[in-house]
Amino acid sequence: MILIGIGANLRSAAGSPRVTCGAALLHLGRLGVVIAGRSPWYESAPIPASDQPWFVNGVVSVETALSPAGLLAALHLTEAAFGRLRTAANAARTLDLDLLAYRDLVKVEGAPLLPHPRLHERAFVLFPLRDLAPQWRHPALGETAANLAAKVPAEGIRRLDP
C-alpha cells in the first residue's frame, strides 16, 4: 500500500483548506497518481502549538507507476500548484503532502525516507490512517495503524466527516 498524508491550514486559490485538499487529490490524478481510498477528514491543532489556524488532515492510499522519488516530486509539484511556499519549519501552509509509506519499503538514507520518520507519533496521520486501513502494518515497527493510533493522545484532533 502506498500512503500519502494530506493537510492544509491556509486558503489557496482553490478555496478553503478542505477544498484545497480535495482539489489536490484531483491534481495528483493528472500526474499519474490514482486515489484508491481516502480517510475521513480531520481537523487538528498545529504542532508545535501556535496561533496558526487548525489544519484539515487526511490520508489517501494510491496506486502509481512512479518510483518513490518520482512520487515525492509529484507531491512537491502539487504543493507548488496550490501556492505552497517552503519558509520556516512548521509554518502555516496552503497544502502539505507527505509520502508516508511506499508499500513495505524501508529507506533510512536519502529522500524520501520511508516510512515517514514521524508517522507513528502523529495523531493527525494515525487517526485518519486507522479509519482508512486499520490493519495496515508499519514496515519498520510491525504494528498496525489501529495499534499505533491507540498509543497517541486524542487531544487537539477531531473528525470532520461522519
Coil vs helix vs strand at 65: coil
Q: How far is CA 50 from CA 68, 70, 90, in A?
A: 32, 33, 10
pLDDT recorded at residue 91: 83
pLDDT recorded at residue 161: 76
What global pTM score does this model have? 0.96
Domains (ranges, CATH) in the chain?
A: 2-159 (3.30.70.560)
pLDDT along the chain (162 residues), means of 10: 97 97 96 97 92 96 98 97 85 94 96 95 97 98 98 94 74
Gyration radius from the chain CA atoms: 15
pLDDT recorded at residue 88: 76
**Catalytic positions:** 84, 93, 96, 98
pLDDT recorded at residue 66: 97
Residue 93: partners with Cβ closer than 8 Å, 6 or more residues away? 7, 8, 9, 10, 79, 84, 85
pLDDT recorded at residue 49: 85
pLDDT recorded at residue 157: 96
- CA 79, distance to chain mean position in Å, is 12
Task: Give yes or no for a contact between 58 and 37, defined as CB atoms under 8 angstroms apart.
Answer: no
pLDDT recorded at residue 87: 78
